[in-house]
């Protein structure tokens, strides 16, 4: 599967596709085309989330930060469980594609990259 192939045409709502689930992990591919969180709405979820912006552009904001973060392809955001957040804006003229990995809080954070070769 190519995550950027066959991007859908603009729709009134975001398109969410579940790619894989198991052992308290869910992976979704999300397409936005000008959508944003409703005024005054903040996500507050039980799961932690790691997001990669694959294509397009977005502005993302945590409730405890004054300024939204501008996201471009390749940018990531790690969202702790119950850390309120919202999507302030997505590009209206080009698809914005996200990869979201939801997981149970616990072993979160960055680790050093390791080689797969012995």
What is the distance, to the nearest Å, from the Cα of residue 18 to the centroid of all Cα atoms in its chain? 13
Q: Please report whether residue 88 resides in a domain.
A: yes
Alpha carbon distance 83, 60 (integer Å): 13
Closest CA to 58 of 99, 14, 91: 91
pLDDT average, residue stretch 13-42: 95
Please, which pLDDT band fits residue 108 given cuts at 50, 70 and 90? very low
Q: Please report whether residue 49 resides in a domain.
A: yes
pLDDT score, position 69: 97
Alpha carbon distance 4, 73 (integer Å): 11
pLDDT score, position 6: 81
Q: Give the CATH number for residue 59.
A: 2.60.120.10
In this predicted structure, the answer to whether residue 8 has a pLDDT above a threshold of 90 is: no
Q: Please report whether residue 118 resides in a domain.
A: no
Q: Please report whether residue 10 resides in a domain.
A: no
Q: Please report whether residue 23 resides in a domain.
A: yes
pLDDT average, residue stretch 86-105: 95
- Dump pLDDT digits (tens) for 39-90: 999 999 999 999 999 999 999 999 999 999 999 999 999 999 999 999 999 9
Higher-pLDDT residue of 72 and 111 is: 72
Whole-model pTM: value is 0.85
Exposure string (b/e) for 51-82, b if CB count within 10 Å is 16 or more? bbbbbbbbbbbbeeeeeeeebeeeeebebebe
Number of compact structural domains in the chain: 1
pLDDT score, position 107: 55
Q: Please report whether residue 76 resides in a domain.
A: yes
Q: Please report whether residue 114 resides in a domain.
A: no
Q: Please report whether residue 39 resides in a domain.
A: yes
Please, which pLDDT band fits residue 105 given cuts at 50, 70 and 90? confident
User: CB of 43 within 8 A of CB of 86?
Assistant: yes
- Structural tokens at position 21: 């689930």
* Domain of 75, in residue numbers: 15-103
């Amino acid at each position: 599967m190519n995550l950027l192939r066959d991007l859908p045409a603009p729709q009134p709502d975001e398109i969410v596709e579940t790619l894989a689930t198991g052992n308290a992990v869910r992976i979704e591919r999300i397409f936005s085309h000008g959508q944003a969180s409703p005024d005054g709405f903040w996500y507050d979820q039980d799961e932690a989330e790691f997001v990669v912006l694959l294509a397009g552009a977005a502005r993302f904001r945590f409730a405890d930060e004054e300024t939204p973060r501008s996201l471009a392809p390749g940018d990531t955001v790690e969202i702790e469980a119950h850390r309120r957040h919202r999507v302030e804006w997505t590009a209206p003229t080009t698809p914005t594609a996200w990869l979201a990995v939801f997981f149970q809080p616990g072993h979160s954070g960055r680790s050093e990259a390791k080689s797969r070769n012995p």
